[in-house]
Amino acid sequence: MEIDYRGLSCPEPVIRTKKAIKDNPQTVEVLVDQRAPLENVSRYLRAMKYDVSVQEESGQWRISATK
Amino acid sequence: MKIAKEKRNLAIAGALIGIIAVVLVLLGNPKNMGFCIACFVRDIAGGLKFHSAGVVQYVRPEIIGLVLGSFLISVLTKEFNARGGSSPVLRFCIGAMVMIGCLAFLGCPFRMILRLSAGDLNALIGLLGFASGVGAGSFFLSKGFSLGRTRAQAPLEGCAISLVNIILFVLVIAVPSLFAFSTSGPGSMHAPMVVSLCAGLVVGLLAQRTRMCMAGGFRDLYLLKDGTLICGFIAIFVFALIMNLATGSFKLGFTGQPVAHNAHIWNFLGMAVCGLGCTMLGGCPLRQLILAGEGNSDSAITVLGLLTGAAISHNFGLAGAAGAVADGAGLKTQGKVAVILCLLILVAIACIKTFAEKKED
């Protein structure tokens, strides 16, 4: 599952991420373009026991999370 | 591990900020007002003659320092990011209402913690109101509230608010006669200008690096069961408390508290307005200043809304008067009406942006 939260400001991406992983998917990819969402989406996914890796792509970040 | 590191950094930054705040009071700032974004923006509005309340006029260098501290560190770390365009007019209006709520209580969430750390129990009532307001805002967020997406902007748009602050500071130093300076009251009490500016720069840097936010602390706790951001809040409280106890500034009670009143309902509702508004904006007044420095023009317009709200508050007699209610302090009728109207308007905006408007995605 890939979700695009580019343009959304803190805290919307992390709250939408919470909803998006409600059904406990094995993998999820989140696109963000601001620092605060990058950090709190990653933090939330880690807290939800996902392994999180981040790739920077010209001022945007792809957060990949796997259970 | 990473989560623990973020908490540790916030705790260290909070501790430093708590200490700096009490030191600023020792160096001349009004009591329990080492930092207060609402009070200081109100003083700047007075200094610029946007309102004529003679006791609260001073161009506070702390605010200029906060914006520029964030600007400088975000440029150095390549985090400066010019963006905006997410409901700027609504943000301006919400910013103004947040300020009206703060000035009814006599302080922003930051000063609320500092007041609490000096034993002012009115701030505890304010804290309950603030937590309730953030709770209401969190409800709307969980139901899909959004002010819309931001877009990349030209660098000059992102720098504009920082440039305005630089020009303001240069003018204050070079041509002070342009501005109003209180000769009595809180506006006349201040630490030396250079110290205030440096304190602002340091706190701006710390707040930018840690993303410290008073509204975000409660919001994350409610919605995500995440206590990271609230660590900063707690550390400021604990270290300011230690400093206040050590310097004999701690005095527990509701009455006789500096620059405060004991109109409980209005302390509660004022901070409820602030909490709800801040949650809709995505951050407390401190965070708005920091984001503005980082190039976020939505936050810059919010800061201008705060400034306008301060002028409205004093031009129309909406702000709380310090002292005991028994002696006629607290809010005048128009202040009470304004707080209730702000609360109703914020709830209306939140409802429309949550339930009525068709979502872009």
pLDDT on residue B358: 58
Separation of alpha carbons B6 and B333, rounded Å: 45
pLDDT on residue B359: 57
Interface TM-score (ipTM) > 0.95: no
Q: Which residues contact B353 (CB under 8 A, 6 or more apart)?
A: B90, B140, B145, B146, B147, B280
CB contact under 8 A, B81 and A7: no
Rounded alpha-carbon distances, angstroms, from residue B141 to A47, B97, B232, B284, B349: 20, 19, 22, 15, 12
Largest interatomic CA distance in chain A: 31
> What's the distance, CA B329 to chain centroid?
23
**Crossing angle, helix B193-210 and helix B285-293, to 10 degrees?**
90
Q: Pull the structure tokens for residue B273.
A: 């307005």
Q: Is A34 on the interface with B (CB under 8 A)?
A: yes
Give Rg (Cα) of chain A: 10
Minimal Cβ distance to B3: which of A6, A12, A47: A47
Domain extent, residue A62, equals: 2-66
CB contact under 8 A, B151 and A18: no
Average pLDDT over residues B157-184: 98
Amino acid at site B59? V
The answer to whether B110 and B284 are in contact (CB under 8 A) is yes
CB contact under 8 A, B83 and A34: yes
Average pLDDT over residues B5-32: 95
Separation of alpha carbons B338 and B97, rounded Å: 9
pLDDT on residue B91: 98
Q: Name every chain A residue with its beta carbon within 8 A of the beta carbon of B219.
A: 11
Domain harbouring A26, CATH code: 3.30.110.40
Q: Kindly report the CA angle at B15 between B9 and B16, in degrees rounded to 5?
A: 90
pLDDT on residue B326: 92
Residue B1 has pLDDT above 80, yes or no: no
Q: Name every chain B residue with its beta carbon within 8 A of the beta carbon of A43.
A: 2-3, 6, 226, 228
Average pLDDT over residues B133-137: 98
* Residues B26-84 pLDDT 10s: 999 999 999 999 999 999 999 999 999 999 999 999 999 999 999 999 999 999 999 99
For residue B316, how many other CB atoms are within 10 A of its CB? Answer: 14
Q: Is B285 on the interface with A (CB under 8 A)?
A: no
Separation of alpha carbons B52 and B41, rounded Å: 14
Number of domains composing chain A: 1
Q: Is B267 on the interface with A (CB under 8 A)?
A: no
Q: Is A64 on the interface with B (CB under 8 A)?
A: no
* Residues B23-40 pLDDT 10s: 999 999 999 999 999 999
How confident is the prediction for chain B on average, in pLDDT? 96
Average pLDDT over residues B7-11: 94
Residue A11 has pLDDT above 80, yes or no: yes
Q: Name every chain B residue with its beta carbon within 8 A of the beta carbon of A46.
A: 2-3
The answer to whether A8 and A37 are in contact (CB under 8 A) is yes
Minimal Cβ distance to A15: which of B6, B141, B211: B141
Q: Pull the structure tokens for residue B4.
A: 């623990």
List the single best residue of B79, B90, B150 to mutate versus A (max A Cβ within 10 A): B150
